[in-house]
Structure 1
Amino acid sequence: MTQIDSPPDRLSNDPRSPHYDEAALDRGIGIRFKGVERRDVEEYCISEGWIRVAAGKALDRRGQPLTIKLNGEVEAWYLLPPKA
């Protein structure tokens, strides 16, 4: 029986987020948004159809990058196989 290996529905690269998953991030996540592969994604949600990306070089008062939410079709996949 084959099990489909797919990344989480929602994932953030911010350790303070409840959607942070270090094991998934260690494997690397590929993101395709509206048919274009993106490498600047801070957070994504496949079921809701959005990604968050940094808004230029602006920072908030805590020193974190400001992000904007973009809506559209989101596809995600692992870049590396699972560790045995």
Structure 2
Amino acid sequence: MSDTPPDRLDSDPRSRFHDAAALERGIGIRLNGKERQDVEEYCVSEGWVRVPAGKARDRRGNPMTIKIKGEVVAYFRDPEPEAEA
């Protein structure tokens, strides 16, 4: 795995942008210079994140999300794991 996180990532396993290996390693997100802990999905190139909209749920029980636009910076929280021999 490279040292840069994916351009777009979603925490929902049904999404085509879901990457379990990257999520296990831990992704940090800064939106407009502020650290965000509640990001469900992000896209660095398009400049947006999706966050839950309070306690609201859709008809399938998933949290309702809102899209916030701005400067998105994604980074790995943990260093890359060493390859075991």
* TM-score, normalised relative to structure 2: 0.92
Structure 1: 4+ residue segments shifted above 3 A = none
State the distance in 2 between where 1:47 and 1:74 align. Answer: 8
Aligned to 2:4: 6
The runs of 5 or more residues in structure 1 that have no matched partner are none
Aligned to 1:18: 16
Q: Which amino acid aligns with 2:22?
A: A
Deviation readout 1:24-76 (Å, 9 max, x if unpaired): 00000000001100000000000000000000000000000000000100001
Aligned to 2:64: 66
Identity %: 65
Size of the aligned set, in residue pairs, is 81
State the distance in 2 between where 1:46 and 1:37 align. Answer: 14
Selected match of 1:78 from 43, 52, 76: 76
Tell me if 1:33 matches 2:31.
Answer: yes
Tell me how far 1:82 sits from its aligned partner: 1.7
Aligned to 1:53: 51
Tell me how far 1:81 sits from its aligned partner: 1.5
Q: Over aligned residues, Cα RMSD in angstroms?
A: 0.9
State the distance in 2 between where 1:31 and 1:53 align. Answer: 12
